[in-house]
Structure 1
Amino acid sequence: EDVEIDDDNYDEMTQVLLHESIDLRRGYNAVLKHQGTCNSITLYDQAIATRSRADRQIAAECLLTSFYNELLSLVRDDFRNRGPENGVSAETIEEDAANLNLGELIAKHKWILGGGGYHLDTTHLSSTVRFATVIDNREMIDQALQLCQYGRRLPSDFQYPGEEPFVDFYPAHSAFFSALLGQSVDTALRMFEQKARTVDVNVAGAGAIETYIDLLDRVGRPAEALRAAIELFPDDVPVQRVLPELLAMARRAKQAGDTSGLEALEQFCFERADLLAVAAIAAEKA
């Protein structure tokens, strides 16, 4: 903790902090500072995307904070520079630049993105939004939603398609983040349920199903999430891979007053002939 990270010890410090998980937040922030956003995104995809949800959250929060603050600073500078030629008074420029967040600024002064340009690498923008889906902090989710609002105003050439269920990248992510903030929850759930039930798993993988279940759980409907998981669970995915998450949903459902989750999950695992999972659930019930 007392060792300052510099160019001489950067490799050793990031090895210990990040790759050996001593302090992932400090290690990933060091990568952002010394290697920049592009290399940090590559590192996330290569070394963090397969790690625990907690680790992915930490790295995603670091990237989101860094990217959002940089983009907001650039947009504010652009607003100050071009405000007079767009009919904005000096008083309004100073007030709005100081007090409005990114989403508010581009909504009130649409000309900021009206000329077809952008302020930061648009591939970095989409990666930051993509990683942010694991974040639970409401303030950061709101920042991710603002990035989507920014992205939706970009020229179509800079709005790249994503993978299911986020093929329509910024609108779909906007719906996801809005639901996590308690906005248009049922509308978002219907959209992602439709994706979960219609996207071909053999072509696009199980991402649509996993996203729908995750969203149900995170908006406070763990019993529905568990039932959806049992119903939609792909036949070729081992139960053991997701058993901890399913058990956690069952616990949350029980805390919310629905005690049927563990029995349903036990029956599901029994039908899958996963006796180790059945034993784990039996121990949980005991």
Structure 2
Amino acid sequence: AAFQQAAQTLAAAGEWHRLFDLRLLQARYELGLDVGRRDAIDDVEEPVRTRLEAAYLHACREVGELLLDAGRYREAWMYLRPAGDKQLVRERLSRAAPDLGDDDALDELIEIALFEAVDPERGYAWLLQRQGTCNGITTLDSLQSQLSPGDLRACAAILVRHVYGELRGNLRGHLARLKGEAPATLSLGELMRDFPELTEQGSYHLDPSHLVSALRYARLVQEPRLWSMADEMVEYGRRLPDDLQYPDVAPFEKTYVANSLYFGALLGRNVEEAIDFFASRTRRIGAGGEGPDSGRDDLEAAAAYVDLLSRLGRPGAALQAYAELTPVDRELGPLTPSLLDLARASGDWDAYADACRRRNDLVALIAGAVSRQG
């Protein structure tokens, strides 16, 4: 009774951290441990240790939920992270309505959602609102290796929509200055088609490096609507002066030529031409073999080619390309379909087994056998 009364008093006063301490004290008392000592849980012997761990996690959930109710997300996550309650925090973040004028509150939400990976997609959208395109791209670049493929694709989609909207808005602003008005319903592509003067005489409406970055991330997304947005941004880039058409990573050094073929193929345009182009890029880069970046360029070119074939519904060809173009001791990375993914999609288990044997990868060979049976 004394513990419960004290808990009610602390909760009413908003003394959440002291409530947590009280719950741990209560657990030690109920388990017959010395309440005057603060032994680490690992130092407590079984079976008491398991019960103490359960009490600790229960206290984490209790206090974490109370802090969530109070809108103190950073402190709440400190308790809910060890309890593994990411979904609860994600659900609460989905109901948050941050004040864009309250920098501290918004930064706290971004920290938990994006940098603690509780809800990266939502957190990244908030970050773009808070910090803008330049910092948004820099941040996503720095987080690439930390985000899961699904979360990275979701953030990439947010960036593509953001940059498309920014570019379209800037063209509409330019049109309004020229004509006195700008139709609200026109897409980026329609603005360029109907008002070609917007992109004449060296005009540009967005940092060209931001456009290159947005297209690089657009190659990760899987929604046809976003491919169409990217295709329109490519067309805008092709109208830029030559000195503003910045190169990208291999095989997209000629940014707008290569991206036009890539997104065009995904949208059903000049498919065979695109396949031939990216196939030739893998051969040309692979034949070079010089310079500090040659190995990385080889893998980037192979990944783009394999990914394109897979997206075009040619998993068998993608499997063959993966096996032929990738060194036996290397993988193409988590954003490219794996050999096993391609074998499942194509049903070409013989080619998969051959690739595994060349790689001397017994584990992958067994994984294929199990998948084939299933």
TM-score, length-normalised on structure 1?
0.87
SS at match of 2:240: coil
Does the 8 Å contact 1:25/1:58 carry over to 2? yes
SS at match of 2:104: coil
**Take 2:336 and 2:278, find their aligned partners in 1: how far apart are those partners?**
22
- The aligned residue for residue 356 of structure 2 is 269
Does residue 52 of the first structure (1) align with residue 148 of the second (2)?
yes
- Displacement after TM superposition at 1:83 (Å): 3.4
Please list, as runs of the form range in 1=range in 2, the aligned pairs for 1:170-249 lying within 5 A after superposition.
170-200=256-286, 202=289, 203=294, 204-238=297-331, 245-249=338-342
Query: Compared with structure 1, are the counterparts of its residues 133 and 238 closer, same or farther at alpha carbon in structure 2 (3 Å cutoff)?
Result: closer
Does residue 29 of the first structure (1) align with residue 125 of the second (2)?
yes
Query: Compared with structure 1, are the counterparts of its residues 57 and 241 closer, same or farther at alpha carbon in structure 2 (3 Å cutoff)?
Result: closer
- Displacement after TM superposition at 1:238 (Å): 5.0
Deviates more, 1:10-19 or 1:65-74: 10-19
Please list, as runs of the form range in 1=range in 2, the aligned pairs for 1:1-16 lying within 5 A after superposition.
1=93, 2-5=95-98, 6-16=102-112
- The aligned residue for residue 209 of structure 2 is 123
| Percent of matched pairs sharing the same residue | 36
- Displacement after TM superposition at 1:275 (Å): 1.1
**Take 1:237 and 1:83, find their aligned partners in 2: how far apart are those partners?**
56
- The aligned residue for residue 88 of structure 1 is none
Deviations 1:15-39 (A, max 9, x none): 2211232211110001101111111
**Take 1:207 and 1:242, find their aligned partners in 2: how far apart are those partners?**
11
Q: AA paired with 1:20? A: E
- The aligned residue for residue 138 of structure 2 is 42
- Displacement after TM superposition at 1:138 (Å): 0.7
SS at match of 2:338: helix
Deviations 1:36-89 (A, max 9, x none): 1111100111112563321221111111111111211110121122137xxxxx
Does residue 143 of the first structure (1) align with residue 229 of the second (2)?
yes
What's the C-alpha RMSD, in Å, of the aligned pairs? 2.2
Query: Compared with structure 1, are the counterparts of its residues 128 and 242 closer, same or farther at alpha carbon in structure 2 (3 Å cutoff)?
Result: closer
SS at match of 1:248: helix
- Displacement after TM superposition at 1:8 (Å): 1.9
Q: AA paired with 2:139? A: L
- Displacement after TM superposition at 1:180 (Å): 0.7
Query: Compared with structure 1, are the counterparts of its residues 244 and 108 closer, same or farther at alpha carbon in structure 2 (3 Å cutoff)?
Result: closer
Question: Structure 2: any 5+ residue segments left out of the alignment?
Answer: 1-92
- Displacement after TM superposition at 1:139 (Å): 0.8
- The aligned residue for residue 343 of structure 2 is 250
- Displacement after TM superposition at 1:239 (Å): 8.5
**Take 2:305 and 2:319, find their aligned partners in 1: how far apart are those partners?**
11
**Take 1:32 and 1:242, find their aligned partners in 2: how far apart are those partners?**
23
**Take 1:184 and 1:14, find their aligned partners in 2: how far apart are those partners?**
41
Larger CA Rg, structure 1 vs 2: 2
Query: Compared with structure 1, are the counterparts of its residues 144 and 239 closer, same or farther at alpha carbon in structure 2 (3 Å cutoff)?
Result: closer
Does residue 282 of the first structure (1) align with residue 330 of the second (2)?
no
Query: Compared with structure 1, are the counterparts of its residues 239 and 196 closer, same or farther at alpha carbon in structure 2 (3 Å cutoff)?
Result: closer
**Take 1:71 and 1:239, find their aligned partners in 2: how far apart are those partners?**
32
**Take 2:175 and 2:366, find their aligned partners in 1: how far apart are those partners?**
61
Query: Compared with structure 1, are the counterparts of its residues 14 and 56 closer, same or farther at alpha carbon in structure 2 (3 Å cutoff)?
Result: same
**Take 1:282 and 1:119, find their aligned partners in 2: how far apart are those partners?**
54
Q: AA paired with 1:68? A: Y
Query: Compared with structure 1, are the counterparts of its residues 239 and 130 closer, same or farther at alpha carbon in structure 2 (3 Å cutoff)?
Result: closer
Please list, as runs of the form range in 1=range in 2, the aligned pairs for 1:69-84 lying within 5 A after superposition.
69-83=165-179
**Take 1:243 and 1:49, find their aligned partners in 2: how far apart are those partners?**
14
Does the 8 Å contact 2:234/2:256 carry over to 1? yes
- The aligned residue for residue 66 of structure 1 is 162
Does the 8 Å contact 1:166/1:172 carry over to 2? yes
**Take 1:239 and 1:188, find their aligned partners in 2: how far apart are those partners?**
20
Deviations 1:163-195 (A, max 9, x none): 211011011111101111111111100100111
**Take 1:164 and 1:195, find their aligned partners in 2: how far apart are those partners?**
9
Query: Compared with structure 1, are the counterparts of its residues 49 and 111 closer, same or farther at alpha carbon in structure 2 (3 Å cutoff)?
Result: farther
Deviations 1:235-257 (A, max 9, x none): 44158979972211111213xxx
**Take 2:243 and 2:133, find their aligned partners in 1: how far apart are those partners?**
21
